[in-house]
């Protein structure tokens, strides 16, 4: 195996990556698969005016919803916000801009951003005046399709069950959800891992996301730093 530089780092090392007004993409579904320790640190650093992109806004005290509840978010691009009443209230009050996208379309828009496609087309919502408001359409074989633009972000935060020091990732069952496409579509991808092992220790058949998409790895809260450093 060729030598490589470990991507394992401390939270202080990733702190400069986060800034006010940035676009941040996150994995997770109702908080499951959203990296809790990274969210905790972003809160403590006081980062604000964020545009966040992900499946939902979690719950007020779980997942990305904590940033919404703390009024650190100015815009959300998500499939729903119903599990977070604070997000609903802020939207109604005009304090939070929300762009809704059907769940599958949202995931595909993120995937498109990750592979360098500028947009996708879909018939979903083409006959819905709310979903197609302000969107371009294209006619193919007599059928109208909506043009849905791709989504990317400056930073993507991802939760993994296990990572090696190169950034190859394994996910925990349904916590996999949108994490693989978020890792692809972000300029900088930061992974929070529950377990960190030396390069080559993960079963190649279990790896879902390649380390080529990962820039930084931080340990999930509770991971023993001494053990991590001694191992890698």
Average pLDDT, the chain: 92
User: Residue 95's pLDDT is what?
Assistant: 97
First to last CA, the chain: 15
More confident residue, 117 or 221: 117
The pLDDT-based confidence of 231 (bands split at 50, 70, 90) is very low
Give mean pLDDT, residues 74-82.
97
Give mean pLDDT, residues 55-60.
96
Work out whether strand 169-170 and strand 143-149 pair parallel, antiparallel, or are unpaired. unpaired
User: Residue 206's pLDDT is what?
Assistant: 96
How do residues 83-133 score in pLDDT, each as one tens digit? 999 999 999 999 999 999 999 999 999 999 999 999 999 998 888 877 677
Can you spell out the DSSP letters for the chain?
-------B--HHHHGGG--TT-EEEE--BTTBTS-HHHHHHHHHTT--SEEEESSB--BTTBTTHHHHHTT-EEEEEESB-TT-HHHHHHHHTTSSEEEE--HHHHHHHHHHHHHT--EEEESTTTT-TTTTTT--EEEETTEEEEEEE---EEEEEEEEEEEETT--EE--GGGGTTHHHHHHHEEEEEEEEEEEE-TT-S-TTT--B-GGG--EEEEPTT--HHHHHHH-
CATH topology of domain 13-125+133-231: Glutaconate Coenzyme A-transferase (3.40.1080)
More confident residue, 222 or 206: 206
Nearest to 67 by CA among 94, 81, 87, 83: 87
For 122, the enclosing helix (H) or strand (E) is strand 119-122
Residue 228 has pLDDT above 70, yes or no: no
CA distance 200 to 203: 8
Two structure tokens written together for 1: 């195996």
User: Residue 223's pLDDT is what?
Assistant: 58
Compute the residue count for the chain.
232
Nearest to 17 by CA among 42, 34, 36, 35: 42
Mean pLDDT lowest among 46-60, 134-148, 180-194, 201-215: 134-148
User: Residue 3's pLDDT is what?
Assistant: 61
Residue 232 has pLDDT above 80, yes or no: no
User: Residue 190's pLDDT is what?
Assistant: 98
User: Residue 124's pLDDT is what?
Assistant: 86
Residue 207 has pLDDT above 80, yes or no: yes
């Amino acid at each position: 195996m060729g030598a490589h530089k470990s991507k394992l780092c401390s939270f202080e090392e990733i702190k400069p990556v986060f800034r006010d007004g940035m676009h941040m993409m996150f994995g997770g579904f109702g908080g499951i698969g959203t990296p809790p320790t990274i969210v905790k640190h972003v809160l403590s650093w006081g980062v604000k005016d964020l545009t966040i992109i992900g499946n939902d806004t979690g719950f007020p005290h779980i997942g990305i919803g904590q940033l919404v509840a703390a009024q650190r978010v100015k815009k959300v691009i998500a499939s729903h916000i119903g599990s977070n009443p604070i997000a609903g209230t802020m939207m109604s009050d005009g304090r939070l801009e929300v762009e809704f996208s059907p769940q599958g379309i949202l995931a595909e828009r993120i995937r498109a951003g990750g592979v360098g496609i500028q947009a996708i087309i879909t018939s979903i919502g083409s006959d819905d005046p709310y979903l197609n408001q302000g969107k371009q359409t294209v006619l193919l074989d007599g059928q109208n399709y909506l043009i849905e633009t791709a989504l990317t972000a400056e930073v993507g935060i991802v939760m993994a069950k296990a990572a090696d020091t190169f950034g190859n990732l394994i996910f925990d069952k349904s916590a996999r959800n949108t994490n693989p496409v978020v890792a692809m579509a972000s300029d900088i991808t930061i992974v929070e891992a529950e377990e960190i092992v030396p390069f080559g220790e993960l079963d190649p058949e279990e790896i879902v996301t390649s380390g080529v998409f990962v820039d930084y790895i931080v340990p999930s809260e509770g991971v023993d730093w001494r053990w991590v450093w001694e191992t890698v």
